[in-house]
Each structure stands twice: as structure tokens, then as C-alpha cells.
Structure 1
Amino acid sequence: MKSVIRHITVNCAPPLEPYTLAEFWSATLGHPIHPDDTPGDDEVLIELPDSPGLLFIRVPDPKSPTTRNRLHLDLQPEQPRDEEVTRLLTLGATFVDDQRTEDGRGWVVLADPAGNEFCVERSDAERTTP
């Protein structure tokens, strides 16, 4: 017997609505919000093919600004990392930290509109370029 991960759950505290945060991640990942979900819902789902879904749920308490996430997502974009960082900032992400190294390795730390940190790594093409 075993268990599988069905959802990765992201808490959404006021004033941010689950649907609003799901819209950011939907645009980021290029996958739609579940058609049954609407603005004002307490739970909003983005189903991802061959992966756990992202489930955004309403909670009463905000994330502490002094605590780091215990879990975060690492994104590997299809386009070059720097172009993806620019795109995500345009969508509403905020810059947190730059961990890129001179040799092109490393990552950029961003936060979604709720303050949840995530990393943007190099694209596959950037990883295979000498």
C-alpha cells in the first residue's frame, strides 16, 4: 500500500482571494483554473497533467513576514530564465533574492502575490548549453 500526492495546497489569507492567487499561478504555469471554480470560492484548483494539482484554500491567518516557507516550488521555464523572471514580475510576482552565479547556475527567488516564495531555475536549453 502507498499514498500519492494529490494536491499541493497553498493557503490564502485575507485580503487575497484563492481565485486571485490561482489566476496568477494559472498564468505562470499555462494551465487553466478548474471550470467549476469561480471568484469567491473557498477552494480553487489548477489541475496539472501528470502532477499533483495546485489547490488554493482560504485561511483566516496571514503568513508571517518573518518566517520562510517550509515548502516552495522550483520552476524550470521553457524560455530563458531571465525572460521568465521578467514575465513573472509582470504578472505580479515580486523579487526576493538573486542566487545566480557567474557561470549561469543558480536561481532567482520570487514571491507570488500572497508572499509565497518560489524559485526560477535555468531552462533546459540553458542547462545543456556549454
Structure 2
Amino acid sequence: MALGWKLVLDTGDPHRQAVFWAEALGYQVEDNSDLIERLLAAGTVDESLCVEFQGRLFWRDAAAVRHPDDPFDPVSGTGLGRRLLFNRVPEPKTVKNRLHVDIHADQGQREAMVARLREHGATLVRHVKEPGGEWTVLTDPEGNEFCVA
């Protein structure tokens, strides 16, 4: 039996990372604001756990993105399929990733995709051309490596 999963990334700024990766992957930033507002109104959570970002409420220490075609929980806004969850941590990234995302551009569109991602905060690391393929290594706004092939 296949299991559900999500990729969790430690980050200093979960909301900024969510916006970057939503743009990079064509995903949607999850909207948990209705749930957060209900929990605040009921006194279940304290306002200190929340933050306003881009005009809506988010959890202060977490944000997520989900594939736009996958199901989601209409009550919480949480994706039930392919998603990335960004959790705030106090320490900065210090070493090379042991796991990274490969983004597959349409044929002939890699350079355009790299340029678009750089406009949204990615940094070019290097271009690789080997007998087995060609790709571009970049980092996201917090220095996490990823590739565009």
C-alpha cells in the first residue's frame, strides 16, 4: 500500500519560501486563514501564533504549498496530495542539501525557466553539461540547492 507524504523544509522565513516555491512549481500557497480565524475567535489559539502576510492570516512558524490539482481539506485549507511544508527553525542553513528538488522544464524552456526563477529570488550556482544530461543548479532565497533540467 502506497503512503501519503509531504516534503518538509526547515527555514528562517516560511512565508517567503512558500511564495518562492509556489512560483517555482506552479503550486498554490495553502490558505489556512479561515481555520485560523475560527480558532482565534473561539479562543483556542493565541494571536502570538499567527502572522498577517500578503493580506491574510498564516501560522507564524509554518506555511505550505500544494499542487493545484490535488485535493485539499476545505475546513483547514491543508493539501491532501503533493505539498511542501516550510517550518521555521532558529538556525540558518550551513551545509549542502542531502535532498533537493529537480524541476523539469518543458523542452527548450530551461533557460527561460532559470531566468524566471532568478527574477523571483533564485541564485545561479552553475550550469552542468555531461554525457548523461544537462541541468542548471540554483539556490532558493535561503540557499537550498535545486536543479532545473
Normalised by the length of structure 2, the TM-score is 0.68
Structure 1 counterpart of 2:66: 47
- Does residue 1:91 correspond to 2:120, yes or no? yes
Q: Which has the larger radius of gyration?
A: 2
Cα 1:5–1:62 change in 2 (3 A) is farther
Equivalent in 20, 25, 46 of residue 21 of structure 2: 25
Instruction: Summarize the alignment of residues 1-130 of structure 1 with structure 2, pairs less than 5 Å apart.
Output: 2=1, 4-13=3-12, 17-36=13-32, 39=53, 41-48=60-67, 49=69, 52-64=82-94, 67-78=95-106, 80-101=109-130, 105-121=133-149
Alpha-carbon deviation of 1:98?
1.0
Normalised by the length of structure 1, the TM-score is 0.77
- Aligned residues: CA RMSD: 2.2
Give CA deviations for 1:59-115 in whole Å, capped at 9, x if unaligned.
011110xx21000000002361111111111111001111035x7931100000010
Structure that is richer in strand per residue: 2
Alpha-carbon deviation of 1:31?
1.7
Alpha-carbon deviation of 1:19?
0.5
**Runs (5+) with no aligned partner, structure 1:** 122-130
1:104 & 1:3 partners in 2: Cα distance? Answer: 30
**Runs (5+) with no aligned partner, structure 2:** 34-51, 71-80
Alpha-carbon deviation of 1:3?
6.0
SS state at 1:21 partner: helix
Q: Which moved more, 1:49-58 or 1:105-114?
A: 49-58
